[in-house]
Amino acid sequence: MKWVIVTGDSKGLGKEIVGKILSDTEFGVVGISRSNEESVKELLDKYPNRFKHISFDLEKVADIKELYIKQIRKIGPIYGLVNNSAYAYDDIVSNLNVENLERMYKVNVFSPMHLTKYAIRDMLLNKIEGSIVHISSVSAHTGYKGLSMYASTKGAMEAFSKNTAREWGARGIRSNCVVPGFMETSMSASLTNEQKDRIYKRTSMKKETDVESVANSVVFLLSEKARSITGTAIHVDNGTI
């Protein structure tokens, strides 16, 4: 069986992506998040042979090598990686807090880069033409007050993805980004209805982005149907223009 790693598997978009992969493909999924197995018990019960959950804090960048060697590698050959986990530190630049900024970069940039490193090594070892998908954000493409620092992490991953695609395309390894608009997830739970309404009015469709639509786009990029797509960013944001 070929396996797809999905970070942030326990809630929101990550859980939706895992469910879509398991229901729509034959891949197995290795889910990674800080949450314990109880948070994904439904998926473990439904797909006992195709879903594995690993409790791990992605802020611990230096431990990712050990995570791969001692746990991920033993599960099976890696076909795909979905870097979905994110930590949102929202504030205006004049209030920048270095500790929070460093934590956000560890979770949103450094750990995804390290996981990409080991996923590619695994693909090369097993001669697999695989697919890597990074979850970006519409905030990297249009301005929102208080999101400049968060947006910078997503912009970094989009640049990383494009260059990764150029580096490894000749070996059949693809790298793309999905750029969601604002969704009704735990990351947007702190926004008031008035704030959400102002954000949604900036979209062509005047409403929140559908989580399932984003997950479907991820599954498409993982699949053979997208075999000629690499180095790009697909916007799923209700037309935020």
Burial letters for 113-148: b for 16+ Cβ neighbours within 10 Å, e otherwise?
A: bbbbebbbebbeeeebebbbbbbbbbbbbeebeebe
Mean pLDDT across the chain, nearest whole number? Answer: 94
Domain membership of residue 179 (yes or no) is: yes
pLDDT (0 to 100) of residue 60: 98
Domain membership of residue 118 (yes or no) is: yes
Query: pLDDT exceeding 90 applies to what percent of the chain?
Result: 85
Number of neighbouring beta carbons within 10 Å of residue 64? 21
pLDDT (0 to 100) of residue 37: 87
pLDDT (0 to 100) of residue 186: 61
Is the sign of the CA dihedral 220, 55, 185, 12 positive or negative? positive
Under the banding of pLDDT at 50, 70 and 90, the label for residue 233 is very high
Domain membership of residue 175 (yes or no) is: yes
pLDDT (0 to 100) of residue 188: 60
Count of structural domains, the chain: 1
| End-to-end CA gap in the chain | 41
* H helix runs in the chain, sequence order: 12-24, 41-46, 64-67, 73-75, 98-105, 111-125, 148-168, 193-200, 211-222
Q: Is the pLDDT of residue 236 over 80?
A: yes
* CATH number of the structural domain spanning residue 26: 3.40.50.720
Query: pLDDT exceeding 70 applies to what percent of the chain?
Result: 97
Q: Is the pLDDT of residue 241 over 80?
A: no
CA-to-CA dists, residue 81 to 7, 18, 195, angstroms: 8, 11, 33
Q: Is the pLDDT of residue 104 over 90?
A: yes
- Lowest mean pLDDT, pick from 39-48, 133-142, 179-188, 225-234: 179-188
Cross-strand partners of 33: 55
Domain membership of residue 241 (yes or no) is: no
Domain membership of residue 219 (yes or no) is: yes
Domain membership of residue 143 (yes or no) is: yes
Q: Is the pLDDT of residue 117 over 80?
A: yes
Domain membership of residue 126 (yes or no) is: yes
Task: Supply the pTM of this predicted model.
Answer: 0.95
Domain housing 35: 3-236
Mean of the pLDDT values across residues 205-233? 96
pLDDT per position as a tens digit, 78-99 = 999 999 999 999 999 999 999 9
Residue type, 207: K
Integer Rg of the chain from CA: 17
pLDDT per position as a tens digit, 158-213 = 999 999 999 999 999 999 999 999 887 665 666 677 777 878 888 999 898 999 99
Cross-strand partners of 226: none
